[in-house]
């Protein structure tokens, strides 16, 4: 079931449910994409309806940020919990290693996707990574062709928002893949360049705080988050 939070319709699913749904889409005949909006992405959609339509057109819309979960509660439409994009991706990788689905890694600086592939294959020796490409290309169409030539079933698209969602919506069908997943900085984490918050911080909903301490340059982006909750409270009052 989908719940509308500040203009974006989120799937109200647990992490295992999300992984199972992702696997179904990856095995299916069509071409779907997954988005993992945090408050920053929801705010972008509020300012750009065309981008909002791309988010709402996804096969799965997962609440990546704790801010989305808080806003949902404030709005009186609570979600079961946070589904971080990286946890979804990691769960899907485990399933792909078992089923033989082919994974393509797209995004980040040159060399990062290759390193990420190597590390993933260390933990999942049966995983098929059928190709990689960095995220700093000029022409998008040849990249879609490269994915198609690699016969990928699933593509992790890590170009940052809003670029990755726009790319998936426009070029997804041309890749021939069944599932594309927009994952921001996940390849940097898989490559070992960026550390994820320890589990305790994640459980306490403080992953954003850990990220800020390690990448202080994100302060401008994060300063807008409290405002997001104020906006949610305002919207709730409007709706009565
Ligand atoms: N990136 C890219 N192409 C671009 C811009 C960004 O591949 O044109 C990559 C960047 O190297 C990083 C990721 O996209 O790996 C964005 O990371 P960020 O931390 O901003 O995303 P978040 O996890 O916050 O969504």
Cα distance between residue 2 and residue 72, in whole Å: 12
* Per-residue pLDDT tens over the stretch 175-213: 999 999 999 999 999 999 988 888 888 888 888 888 888
Mutate to test the pocket of ligand 1, among 160, 188, 195 (most ligand atoms within 8 A of CB): 160
Q: Give me the chain's average pLDDT, please.
A: 95
Cα distance between residue 35 and residue 111, in whole Å: 24
Q: What letter does residue 195 receive in the DSSP assignment?
A: P
**Atom 21 of ligand 1, residue of closest alpha carbon:** 184
**The predicted structure's pLDDT at residue 57:** 98
Apex 212 CA angle, 155 and 70, nearest 5 = 75
- Please give all residues whose beta carbon lies within 6 A of any atom in ligand 1, as ranges: 107-109, 135-136, 158-161, 163, 184-185, 187-188
**Atom 22 of ligand 1, residue of closest alpha carbon:** 184
* Per-residue pLDDT tens over the stretch 89-143: 999 999 999 999 999 999 999 999 999 999 999 999 999 999 999 999 999 999 9
Of 236, 222, 240, which is closest to residue 67 (Cα–Cα)?
A: 222
Question: Among all chains, which residue has been given the structure tokens 């960095």?
Answer: 134
* pTM, two decimal places: 0.94
Q: What is the DSSP string of 119-134?
A: HHHHH-TT-EEEEEE-
**The predicted structure's pLDDT at residue 102:** 98
Of 156, 149, 174, 143, which is closest to residue 113 (Cα–Cα)?
A: 156
Mutate to test the pocket of ligand 1, among 135, 138, 191 (most ligand atoms within 8 A of CB): 135
Give the number of the atom of ligand 1 that is nearest the alpha carbon of residue 161. Answer: 25
Is 110 buried (19+), middle (13-18) or exposed (0-12) by CB count in 10 A?
Answer: exposed
Distance 19 CA to ligand 1 centre (A): 23
Locate 7 and state its tokens: 């203009």
Distance 159 CA to ligand 1 centre (A): 5
Mutate to test the pocket of ligand 1, among 37, 68, 107 (most ligand atoms within 8 A of CB): 107
Distance 238 CA to ligand 1 centre (A): 35
Locate 111 and state its tokens: 């060399």
Q: Is 159's pLDDT higher than 80?
A: yes
């Amino acid at each position: 079931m989908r719940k509308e939070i500040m203009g974006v319709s989120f799937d109200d699913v647990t992490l295992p449910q999300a992984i199972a749904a992702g696997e179904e889409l990856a095995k299916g005949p069509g071409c779907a994409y997954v988005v993992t909006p945090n408050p920053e992405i929801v705010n972008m959609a509020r300012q750009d309806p065309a981008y909002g339509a791309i988010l709402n057109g996804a096969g799965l819309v997962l609440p990546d940020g704790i801010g989305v979960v808080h806003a949902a509660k404030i709005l009186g439409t609570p979600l079961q919990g946070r589904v971080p994009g990286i946890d979804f991706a990691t769960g899907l990788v485990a399933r792909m290693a078992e089923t033989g689905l082919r994974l393509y890694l797209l995004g980040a600086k040159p060399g990062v996707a290759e390193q990420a592939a190597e590390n993933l294959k260390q933990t999942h020796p049966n995983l098929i990574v059928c190709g990689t490409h960095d995220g700093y290309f000029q022409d998008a169409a040849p990249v879609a062709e490269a994915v198609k030539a690699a016969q990928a079933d699933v593509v992790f698209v890590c170009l940052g928002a809003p670029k990755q969602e726009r790319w998936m919506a426009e070029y997804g069908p041309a890749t021939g893949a069944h599932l594309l997943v927009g994952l921001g900085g996940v390849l940097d984490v898989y490559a070992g360049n960026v550390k994820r918050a320890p589990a305790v911080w994640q459980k306490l909903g403080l992953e954003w705080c850990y990220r800020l301490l390690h990448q202080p340059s994100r302060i401008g982006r994060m300063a807008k988050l409290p405002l997001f909750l104020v906006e949610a409270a305002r919207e709730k009052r409007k709706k009565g």
